Structure 1
Amino acid sequence: MAEIVQWHDDLLQRLRRRRGGPSGRAKYSPRRPRRRDRTAVVTDSSAALPRVVLEHPLAAGLRQVPMPVMIGDQIHSEGTAELDRDLPLALAAGTTVRTSRPAPGVFSGVYQEVAEAGFARIISIHLSGKLSGTADAARIAAREALIPVTVVDTETTGFCQGTVVLDALIRAGFHEPIEEIADGAQRAAADSRVFFTVPNLEQLRRGGRIGTVAGLLGSLLQVKPVLTLADGVVSLVDRPRTTAKAVDRMVELAQESSQGRPVRIAVHGFGNDSAAHELAARVQPESATPVPVITLPAVLAAHLGLGALGITVNPVDEAALGLLH
């Protein structure tokens, strides 16, 4: 996660230079409880934000709600050592793995904790509502929250969603109006892209997340499909016959997505670190920032399976970064 830490440290340095002093707190002050006009950012663990990011000083106003993953009859929360150990074994063995949305009560607890920490409002940013009921659970909890909550359905997931969350955190740190933060998040999510390939479609089929690919299952048995999220659902981009060609196609798609604009790219993998790092090196020339390799969160790996590879492409949020200059 060194690339993500460096990205955050660069932001912190810019914040300090903007103020002209060592701390930056006069302009960006998420740790000052006496300020009541602060916006917190809440997301779910499908955003793939690593612990090192959540514990960074710039993330004091950020909360990530863990999503449940069920292996057989055992329920795990994202981020536990037991889940990290058991999920790859379960996927390799063909054990039934399912996922669920967080209960509205979990969101209620997080919203209450944020309110008691002195925040005035919340923007709650979540994965596609066509893949999960997480955004709906957030909306239910928002009705009874102690402070106003604005829920954003990104229609995406993974670090595509995570990058949108981090940009929202920058905007919140400079006390932008909640409407502008939400509009910026929605636009950035709509302008982002995610491409991925899986060794087979079995896990997606079992989980019911096959989207518009369902009618093509029979014709895709002997290929390594390249998939994307279109309008929030899984859709087919191409059907190469080998993993190598699928990776080549994803690199082409990343290049096409970056033409004419600066973008930030990240790579996801699960159980295939060397392949993920090789892919990151290939797409680095297309990215305006270092390309991190981020292990798929368990809630996504449960549906994509061992050996899944993905690329997320997000536009550089010029408006958010402009606040830093």
Structure 2
Amino acid sequence: MKKKIAWVTDSTAHITEELQQHPDVYVVPMSIIFGEDIYEDGLTVTPDNLYTKISEYPELPTTSQPPIGKFVTLYEELQEKYEQVIMIHVSSLISGTYAGSRQAAEMVGIKYHAIDSKAMSYAMTYMLQDGLQLQEEGKTVEEIVTYIEGMISALENYILLGNLKQMYKGGRMNGVQFFLGTMLNIKPIITIKEGVFQMFDKVRTEKRAVQRLMDQFASAYEKVAINRLAILHGNRLQDAQKWKEMLVEKYPSLAIDICPISSTIGVHAGEGTLAVLWFNK
């Protein structure tokens, strides 16, 4: 007898230990390319050793979506074990992963529901966690998918980039933004909105940037009941913990997760990145 739902995502999501151990969750890794050497995000390169590799290598690495063949192989295996697949992927406007995953599912002929998260990282983690919880509660696949899709528009996220050069060379930032950040010493605050990177604000110091983000959360918290928040970092655990301490002091009932950004995201955002996200619902 086939199991009901297989959950598929990519390595831009933060895969918690619980998700790693879940028998129905499958993660397809992105590729990180240093010259002629290709690494698999989360498998042969991790956030712990990524930045060391970057510092040792003369050129910045590049990233690539998973080959469609990896998705085909996975869906052929899942077709034998599951009735259908729910796939949650990084924004389709940032990566071709979502399109490749759908194309592979069509080729195999497996029944699927594709969700374009229009986000990345812990936003996708929360979507997976909530979906699995709803499944445990006995919700139908249609109810689960509808709920997760409703989360997309409720996401609020802000990113303090650690390395503007990497974001610019990776094609995620235009020349004007790069000039402002490097030549004028302005700290740009980036957000992912409608699935693409957008400039949210520009401030002079990181201290002011942090206060800006705290103010944003305070404003959101006054309007809706927010019960969880994620702080993401590129090799800045101590600073992420300081952010958590500031938030816990003011919002003691708030559940706060801290995690490193994935290696794929780290290639573009750079070491030193700090970000925060939550859902306004």
What is the TM-score normalised by the length of structure 1?
Answer: 0.78
How far, CA to CA, are the matches of 2:144 and 2:280 in structure 1? 16
SS for the counterpart of 2:203 is coil
Structure showing the higher strand proportion among its residues:
2
Aligned partners of 2:60 and 2:166 also within 8 Å: no
Shift in alpha-carbon separation, 1:239–1:92, aligned structure 2, 3 A: farther
Once residues 160 and 77 of structure 2 are traced to their aligned partners in structure 1, the CA distance between those partners, rounded to angstroms, is 38
Q: Which runs of 5+ in 2 are unaligned?
A: none
Counterpart-to-counterpart distance in 2, 1:287 and 1:102: 40
Deviation, 1:122, is 0.6
Cα offset, 1:288, TM superposition: 5.2
Q: Distance in 2 between matches of 1:287 and 1:147?
A: 45
Residue 32 (structure 2) aligned to one of 69, 75, 79? 69
Aligned partners of 2:253 and 2:73: how far apart in 1? 38
Deviation at 1:200, TM superposition (A): 3.8
Q: Decide which of 45, 53, 56 is 2:11's aligned counterpart.
A: 45
Residues of 1 paired with 2:188 and 2:90: CA distance? 22
Q: Per chain length, whose mean CA-contact separation is higher, i.e. which structure has more relative contact order (CA < 8 Å, sep 6+)? A: 2
Contact in 2 for aligned 1:43/1:126 (Cα 8 Å) = yes
Residue 246 (structure 1) aligned to one of 192, 206, 209: 209
For the residues of structure 1 that align with 2:186 and 2:163, how far apart are their CA atoms? 8
State the partner residue of 1:185: 148
Structure 2 letter corresponding to 1:39? I
Q: 1:81 to 1:182 in 2, by over 3 A?
A: same
What is residue 139 of structure 1 aligned with on the other side?
Answer: 102
Aligned residues, how many?
276
Please tell me whether the aligned partners of residues 268 and 311 of structure 1 are also in contact (alpha carbons under 8 angstroms): yes
Identify the match of residue 240 of structure 2 among 271, 276, 292. 276
Q: Is the 8 A contact 2:63 2:267 kept in 1?
A: yes
1:101 paired residue number: 65
Give 1:278 shift: 0.7
- Once the two structures are TM-superposed, the CA of residue 89 in structure 1 deviates from its matched residue by 1.9
**Does structure 2 conserve the Cα–Cα contact (< 8 Å) formed by 1:129 and 1:232?**
yes
Question: Aligned-pair distance for 1:129?
Answer: 0.8
| Structure 1 Cα separation of the partners of residues 161 and 238 of structure 2 | 16
- Tell me by how many angstroms 1:266 deviates: 0.7
Q: Does the C-alpha gap of structure 1 residues 91 and 37 become closer, same or farther in structure 2, counting only changes over 3 Å?
A: closer
In structure 1, list runs of 5 or more residues that go unmatched. 1-33, 317-325
Alignment CA distance shift 1:147-1:130 (3 Å) = same
Q: Which amino acid aligns with 1:267?
A: I
Q: Identical aligned pairs, as a percentage?
A: 23
Q: TM-score, normalised by structure 2?
A: 0.90
Pairwise CA distance, 1:151: 1.0
Q: Secondary structure at the match of 2:230?
A: strand
